[in-house]
Amino acid sequence: MSANIYIVPHDFTSVGDEALNYATILGRRKHTAIKLLHIVEDESKIGEAKAKLEQIIAAKTRQEGDPEITCVVAIGTIFEDIGRVAEEEDARLIVMGTHGSKGMQKLFGSYAIKVITSCDVPFMVVQENLQINSIQKIICPIDLSKESLQIINYAADLALMFDAEVHIVGEKQTDERLAQQIKIRIALVKKEYEEKQVKNQINLLSGNKSFHTKVVNYGKEVNADMFALAYHTESLLPQFDRFAQTLITNDLKLPCLILNSEEVSNAYY
């Protein structure tokens, strides 16, 4: 049986270690292999980078059932070649560390959107000081766009792996037509989850605050373990829209699964 491949970009900092640890947690639930990736500017730096990656692998504490970890060094830039390597390796997931909103901007700057929209492989973004060792509650926001629903099956598959509960959250609409649209979407999700036997809750969030603020606050209220969303935009702006960025770098420091809804493939965990 062939293994799922998870790509973990590592920049030789603690956030790379966080991403590797979290990928290991995810990989224990499936037959998975992890490829630790570092990008270098030219061929002369390959040997040193490979040696550092091998040291990280050798130093990692392992337990029974942990995924096999190997390393890959590629020439290029982190903005273009993380996605390229993931596609070449037929990866199912990229687990990437970030220092939070400040670190995200420092690392990726105006190229942030290109990292996630450059390929059809979903990203799991992990912040520093992650304390989660399992997944019990996944917060999955949807809106009135059909693209936002593409996250539903991905969240369901992850929930089934961990026997977790998915909380589908939408925004309560005052307009009657929009309220009917969100009601239809919720009914579709409910039906699909019942057929798959996925534990779930569905909630419409009200109030005057922005939707992203309400989603993060809801995650705090229910003691969530992860956010999951589909990122979609008609124009490739040189930055994340505020909703996506707030969830990716949320103050709760929860991991965030994000997929490019225009490019994502059907295969996942």
- Tens-digit pLDDT profile for residues 168-210: 999 999 999 999 999 888 888 999 999 999 999 999 999 999 9
208, 249, 233, 251: which is closest to 96 by C-alpha? 249
Same-domain pairing of 82 and 160: no
Please report the pLDDT score of residue 243 as a whole number: 81
Residue ending a domain, among 68, 98, 127, is 127
- 161 lies in some domain: yes
Q: Domain span at residue 82? A: 4-127
For residues 99 and 213, membership in a common domain is answered with no
What is the predicted pLDDT for the residue at 113?
Answer: 56
Out of 74, 95, 127, pick the residue that ends a domain.
Answer: 127
Task: Report pLDDT for 114.
Answer: 61
The predicted structure's pLDDT at residue 239: 43
| pLDDT at res. 129 | 76
List the single range of 140-149, 203-212, 217-226 with lowest mean pLDDT: 140-149
State whether 91 and 158 are in the same domain.
Answer: no
- Check: pTM over 0.85? Answer yes or no: yes
Q: Are residues 116 and 152 in the same domain?
A: no
Query: Do 227 and 194 form a contact (C-beta atoms < 8 A)?
Result: no
pLDDT value of position 8: 95
Q: What is the pLDDT of residue 111?
A: 46
CB 92 within 8 A of CB 5: yes
Tokens of 29: 């639930």
Segment 212-239 shows an average pLDDT of: 82
* Long-range CB contacts (within 8 A, 24+) of 265-268: 265/120, 267/92, 268/92, 268/93, 268/122, 268/153, 268/154, 268/157
pLDDT in the model for residue 30: 83
Question: Has residue 65 been placed in a domain?
Answer: yes
Looking at per-residue pLDDT, the higher value among 197 and 144 belongs to 197
> What CATH number is given to the structural domain containing 163?
3.40.50.620
Same domain flag for 201 and 164? yes
> In terms of domains, do 118 and 154 share one?
no
Is residue 264 pLDDT above 70, yes or no? Answer: no
| Mean pLDDT of the chain, nearest integer | 84
Query: Is residue 222 domain-shared with residue 182, that is, in the same domain?
Result: yes
Q: How far apart are CA 210 and CA 115, in angstroms?
A: 26
Mean pLDDT of 261-267: 51
Which tens digits make up the pLDDT trace of 80-121?
888 889 999 999 999 988 765 554 444 443 345 566 767 778
Tens of pLDDT, residues 238-254: 344 678 878 888 889 89
Position 256 in a domain: no
Closest CA to 141 of 169, 167, 166: 169
Nearest C-alpha neighbor of 171 from the set 206, 134, 220: 206
Domain count, the chain: 2
Q: Could you tell me if 10 and 113 lie in one domain?
A: yes
Give Dmax over CA atoms of the chain in angstroms: 63
- Are 85 and 157 within one domain? no
Residue 259 in domain: no
Same domain, residue pair 161 and 180: yes
Whether 57 maps to a domain, the answer reads: yes
Read off the pLDDT of residues 14-27 as tens digits, 9 standing for 90 and up.
Answer: 889 999 999 999 99
- Residue 139 contacts residue 215 (beta carbons within 8 Å): yes
Which of 83 and 267 is assigned the larger pLDDT? 83
* Higher pLDDT pick, 10 / 112: 10
Percent of the chain with pLDDT over 90: 53
